[in-house]
């Protein structure tokens, strides 16, 4: 077999599905027992937008018991085995979880009616996902400051430089299971002028890298304001993702951006947020979890696009 014929390795002849959540796109494969050898090179080749299928991320539907042997009661639980477009592994992907559940439903691997919930294994712990009228809502668990003390005292713990910004801006590092650095550009900030084709420079540089979100505050759209709901905040966001580049949306990024904006807003800041991203709109809500910690709930759409068999 020539090198050209062998370029898809274990994925040769395998049916893959393409789907997305607010334009953050993924390739899915079902491999419950993790028999496929998903090397970083193979994943990067599949995600290549010119020579592969093209996607921001690659998700294997595995069983939790295959990824984490010995987890009690996990035999029947599906695990989102997520990789970035460059082949690197990330702990968590918010848009990915919604799209993953839609994939499981489409493939008839699970049944899920509106109002029902399913538990999904991820490297950032088990997430409960509910089917809503328009998509899925995920309990993402608690958010946290990566550098607790500095963040709480100063409201920032890093600076970010990017093309289109004249000076480095203060930023806040937040974990959603994966790392984020959120930069507030203010209500009159210019998102469109940012050059995110190159990675923003974060100082100090996080050892494991970070996803960087740029945020401006937004007026709530008229239709929502007219309902008299004054308790909803709104932000617009662009993101440069670790291991990917600029994407049309990032679910964990939307959660981190809403958490940072709410923290900067002080005690009166709302618990409900709309996050407008280039690929659509996400809803982020802060609620008290069953463990008495503040949890983040991420809601938004997800859809499958089609199937490809690699030749």
Ligand X SMILES: N[C@@H](CCC[C@H](N)C(=O)O)C(=O)O
| Number of other residues whose CB lies within 10 A of the CB of residue 87 | 18
93 is catalytic: yes
Residue located via tokens 């494991």: 208
178 is in an annotated binding site: yes
Residues in the site for ligand X, rule: CB under 6 A? Answer: 24, 57, 84, 90, 93-96, 178, 211, 241-244, 247, 250-253
CB of 85 to ligand X, least distance (A): 8
Q: How far apart are CA 178 and CA 89, in angstroms?
A: 10
CB of 98 to ligand X, least distance (A): 9
252 is in an annotated binding site: yes
CB of 209 to ligand X, least distance (A): 7
Nearer to ligand X, 65 or 276 (CB): 276
Cis peptide before 29 (omega within 30 of 0): no
CB of 280 to ligand X, least distance (A): 12
What phi and psi, each to the nearest 5 degrees, are found at residue 139?
A: -80, 105
217 is in an annotated binding site: no
Nearer to ligand X, 91 or 294 (CB): 91
| Number of other residues whose CB lies within 10 A of the CB of residue 198 | 11
CB of 36 to ligand X, least distance (A): 20
Nearer to ligand X, 65 or 242 (CB): 242
Q: How far apart are CA 262 and CA 155, in angstroms?
A: 11
Question: Residue 208, exposed/middle/buried by CB under 10 A (0-12, 13-18, 19+)?
Answer: exposed
Of 250, 259, 282, 299, the catalytic one is: 250
Nearest to 138 by CA among 77, 181, 93: 93
DSSP 264: H
84 is in an annotated binding site: yes
266 is in an annotated binding site: no
255 is catalytic: no
Q: How far apart are CA 120 and CA 131, in angstroms?
A: 13
Of 93, 184, 255, 275, the catalytic one is: 93
Nearer to ligand X, 52 or 57 (CB): 57
95 is in an annotated binding site: yes
Nearer to ligand X, 65 or 301 (CB): 301
What phi and psi, each to the nearest 5 degrees, are found at residue 20?
A: -155, 160
Catalytic residues: 93, 250
Known binding-site residues for substrate equal 24, 84, 94-95, 178, 211, 241-242, 251-252
């Amino acid at each position: 077999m020539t090198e050209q014929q062998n370029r898809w390795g274990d994925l040769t002849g395998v049916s893959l599905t393409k789907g997305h959540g607010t334009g953050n796109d993924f390739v899915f494969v079902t491999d419950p027992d993790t028999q496929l050898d998903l090397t970083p090179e193979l994943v990067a080749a599949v995600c290549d937008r010119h020579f592969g299928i093209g996607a921001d991320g690659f998700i294997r539907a595995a069983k939790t018991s295959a990824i984490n042997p010995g987890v009690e009661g996990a035999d029947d639980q599906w695990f989102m085995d997520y990789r970035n477009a460059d082949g690197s592994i990330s702990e968590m992907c918010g848009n990915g979880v919604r799209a993953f559940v839609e994939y499981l439903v489409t493939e008839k691997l699970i049944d899920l009616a509106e109002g029902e919930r399913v538990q999904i294994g991820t490297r950032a712990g088990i997430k409960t996902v509910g089917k809503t009228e328009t998509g899925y809502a995920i309990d993402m668990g608690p958010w946290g400051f990566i550098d607790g003390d500095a963040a709480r005292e100063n409201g920032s713990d890093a600076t970010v430089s990017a093309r289109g910004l004249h000076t480095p801006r203060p930023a806040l590092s937040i974990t959603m299971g994966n790392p984020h650095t959120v930069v507030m550009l203010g209500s009159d900030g210019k998102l469109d002028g940012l050059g995110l084709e190159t990675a923003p420079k974060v100082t100090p540089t996080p050892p494991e890298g970070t996803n960087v979100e740029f945020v401006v505050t937004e007026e709530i759209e008229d239709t929502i304001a007219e309902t008299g709901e004054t308790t909803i905040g709104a932000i617009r966001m662009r993101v440069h993702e670790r291991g990917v580049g600029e994407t049309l949306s990032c679910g964990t990024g939307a959660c981190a951006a809403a958490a940072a904006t709410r923290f900067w807003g002080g005690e009166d800041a709302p618990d409900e947020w709309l996050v407008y991203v280039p690929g659509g709109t996400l809803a982020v809500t802060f609620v008290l979890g069953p463990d008495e910690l503040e949890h983040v709930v991420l809601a938004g759409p997800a859809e499958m696009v089609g199937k490809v068999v690699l030749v």
